[in-house]
Amino acid sequence: MCQTVAYLIQGDKEVLVLQDVVSITPEGQTVRLVNLFGEEKVIEGRIRQIDLLSHRITIHAGRPS
């Protein structure tokens, strides 16, 4: 399976947001994440990178500048 883990970057901290993510959708100032179990999180921020080899999604906290 290809699910990944989403992390939110807040300053120099990295906070785990959601595991087993299967869908990532930017929506204006937010990013919608859905995982394998249908759990959904909408995060205020923007995607920094999605790395499918290390199974990591990183999201910058806050609104785009």
Enumerate binding residues for a copy of itself (CB under 8 A).
2-4, 21-26, 46-53, 55
DSSP-derived pairing of the beta strands 30-35 and 13-27: antiparallel
Please identify, using beta-carbon distances, which residue of 14 and 51 lies nearer to a copy of itself: 51
CA separation for the pair 34, 16 (Å, rounded):
14
> Among residues 53, 65, 50, 38, which one has the least CA distance to residue 7?
50
Residue 17 CB, nearest approach to a copy of itself (Å): 15
Please identify, using beta-carbon distances, which residue of 16 and 53 lies nearer to a copy of itself: 53
Residue 38 CB, nearest approach to a copy of itself (Å): 12
